[in-house]
Amino acid sequence: MPEWFTDAFPSDAELRWVNILIRLFAALVLGGLVAAIYRTTRRRHASSATDLSQTLLLLAIVIAMITLAIGNNTARAFSLVGALAIVRFRSVVEDPRDTAFVILAVAVGLAVGAGFILVPLLGLPIAGAVAWVFANNVVAPVPAAPTCRVALRAEPGCSAAEVRQALASHLDDCRERRIETVKKGTLVEFVYSGRMHADSDGHTLVQALQSCPGVVGVEVLFPDPGST
């Protein structure tokens, strides 16, 4: 290579390019194994779960590159930790198993980048066996009903006890969200939220609330399936 190029990147002399390619290729293969274990043992009943397969594969390669760049230089390690500390992720990992697989991909990348190939070769079969055993013993939970919003307007003298009784007979975890006057104080608007009973629906809830003395209007809103 030209002298000006080698002078600009003197740290490249610490590692041979063949070793770099071998380690990155090993990170690609082992990261693919982590992604394969995740895909074959993930909880498929969780419809909202995010497929992390591509993330796990890329994460193993990226961590291997970072480890190669750090090498045995302590100052470089602290500099990279400080640089990576400013990165923020908005995605929330809901399933703790997904977090474990993310850490597994990081461990694979660290081991390969540092030149310890036996660690992931021996650790991945054990981790895969544990994930497979627990995946076969997972009981799919019954999905919870979506939270609905109930807004009703009533006269100032409306019986709040009857309204709460009607709500409790159709909603679980019913909570009062807002109370305000409307129509220049002639009506009071109540807003509640809760989960619909399995044996109930919006029509029966509206009918039950309209039968309460003083209630003049009822609105029941359900979440948009496309917004989740």
The CA angle 187-192-198, to the nearest 5 degrees, is 130
Same domain, 177 and 122: no
pLDDT digits (tens, 9 = 90+) for 135-168: 766 555 555 566 788 998 998 888 788 888 888 8
Q: Taking 90 as the threshold, does the pLDDT of residue 27 lie above it?
A: yes
Q: Which residues form the domain of 174?
A: 147-227
Residues 14 and 126 in one domain: yes
- Structural domain includes residue 168: yes
Residue 142 lies in a domain: no
Mean of pLDDT values over 102-118 = 89
Is pLDDT above 70 for 134? yes
Give domain status of residue 170, yes or no: yes
Judge if 114 and 169 occupy the same domain: no
Q: Which H/E stretch holds residue 200?
A: none
How many Cβ atoms sit within 10 Å of the Cβ of residue 20? 15
What secondary structure letter does DSSP report for 199? T
Is the domain of 91 the same as that of 191?
no
The pair of structure tokens assigned to 184 is 């220049």
Same domain, 46 and 131: yes
**pLDDT in the model for residue 83:** 64
> Band of the pLDDT at 7, cuts 50, 70, 90?
low
Together in a domain, 195 and 99: no
Indicate the pTM of the whole model: 0.55
* CATH code: domain of residue 189: 3.30.70.60
Q: In the predicted model, is pLDDT for residue 94 greater than 70?
A: no
Nearest Cα to 109, choosing from 72, 67, 76?
67
Secondary structure class of 214 (helix, strand, coil): coil
Residue 121 and residue 23 share a domain: yes
pLDDT of residue 2: 65
**CB burial readout 30-59, b (16+ within 10 A) else e:** bbebbbebbeebbeeebeeeeebbebbbeb
Of 84, 102, 136, which one is at a domain's C-terminal end?
136
60 near 31, Cβ under 8 Å?
yes
- What distance in Å separates the CA atoms of residue 126 and residue 223, rounded to the nearest whole number? 42
Q: Which own/partner contact pairs does 72-78 have at CB distance under 8 Å and 24+ positions apart? A: none
Residues 6+ apart with CB under 8 A from 112: 23, 26, 27, 30, 60, 64, 67, 120
- Among the residues of the chain, which ranges form H helices? 3-8, 17-41, 53-70, 74-84, 96-114, 118-136, 160-168, 202-210
- Sheet (strand 171-182) strand order: 171-182, 187-196, 147-154, 215-221
Domain count, the chain: 2
For residues 58 and 131, state if they share a domain: yes
Note whether 103 and 156 are same-domain residues. no
Is 151 in a helix, a strand, or coil? strand
d(CA 177, CA 149) in angstroms, rounded, equals 9
Tell me, yes or no, whether 152 and 96 share the same domain: no
Residue 180, judged by CB atoms within 10 A of its CB (0-12, 13-18, 19+), counts as: exposed
The answer to whether 187 and 153 are in contact (CB under 8 A) is: yes
